[in-house]
Amino acid sequence: MNKIPVSVLVQTKNEEGGINKCLAALTDFDEVIVVDSNSTDRTAELAKEAGATVINFTWDGKFPQKKQWQLEQVETRNQWLLMLDADEYPTPELTQELRAIAEDPEQTRVAYDLPVAYHFAGTGLRHGHRVVKRSFLRRGHNAFRNIDLLHLPGMGEVEAHYQPEPDGPVGRTEALLVHHDVDPVRTWFDRHNRYSDWEAYIRTHPETRGSVRESKSSQGRRFDAVPLKPLVFFLYSYVLRRGFLDGRAGFDYALALSTYYWQIGLKSRELQRTGANGVGGTGRG
């Protein structure tokens, strides 16, 4: 069977623990490019051994950040791009669905949102809240806008959690993208403590919040307007979306993300009370 006419862009930095699993799921795609950020481990070496092209990226501290830089600077053979982190890979069903999309000469959509099969604390979740990522893009029809977030504490080379903006219609796949982080669970809490700093700043700056909301998926925009997020999210994920069927892992995930939304609210109230600008002042957790 012919290769799928899609170029996969995998962004990495010190990902030797998971890069092989990611690349092993991409053998049906026509082109795999690993965009590596000066890894000090064997990430680049392992990627080359697996047959991927490796391009190095050194961030200059300015816009564009890494994802938009890839859209602007990385040359690809195909018009359809699948943008992945090293801890993500398509299921076989998603691989075939992406083939059908890319090979359809009547295709009018310029981007697809991919629902994510998430692993938390080493366990795959089949139920509960489902994250959606806009990761399948038609080249030249999508861009990450320059939202004023670079000054936030802990902001790095990769765009914060907002979606690329399309210039045409967006679809959603039926099949799933797997997210399987092999790092210990403490790193999840470290990241989300930092993310809650960013979200608190965004929430207390209306103009920035409006720009970020425009760049979210429809699901993200709806949830942004929900009051009492910690309680609502727990009930939604664990009860309505039947996260309880995943056992202890489903409870842990629903509670962890509910606590994350509680952190955002608490830090937002602190910023409003103190009048701080969010730079260097929201890192206490």
Average pLDDT, stretch 91-104? Answer: 98
**Residues 6-60 pLDDT 10s:** 999 999 999 999 999 999 999 999 999 999 999 999 999 999 999 999 999 999 9
Say which residues have a Cβ less than 8 Å from residue 252's Cβ, sequence separation at least 6: 120, 121
Fold of 4-274: Spore Coat Polysaccharide Biosynthesis Protein SpsA; Chain A (3.90.550)
Q: Which pLDDT value is given to residue 214?
A: 67
Percentage of the residues of the chain whose pLDDT score is greater than 90: 73
pLDDT (0 to 100) of residue 281: 43
- Separation between Cα atoms, residue 163 and residue 143, nearest integer Å: 9
pTM: 0.88
Per the model's pLDDT, the better-predicted residue between 259 and 181 turns out to be: 259
Q: What is the CA radius of gyration of the chain?
A: 19
pLDDT at 107 over 70: yes
Name the strand (E) or helix (H) holding 175.
none
Structure-token pair, residue 168:
């045409």
Which value, to the nearest 10 degrees, does the dihedral of the CA atoms of residues 66, 70, 71, 74 take? 160
**Concatenated DSSP letters for 11-31?**
EESS-TTTHHHHHHTTTTEEE
Question: Cα–Cα distance between 108 and 128 in angstroms, integer?
Answer: 32
For residue 113, the model assigns a pLDDT of: 96
The domain spans of the chain are: 4-274
Rounded CA-CA distance 136/139 in Å is 10
Percentage of the chain exceeding pLDDT 70 = 92
Whether 35 and 60 have beta carbons less than 8 Å apart is answered as: no
pLDDT at 277 over 70: no
State the Cα–Cα distance between residues 193 and 83, nearest whole angstrom.
25
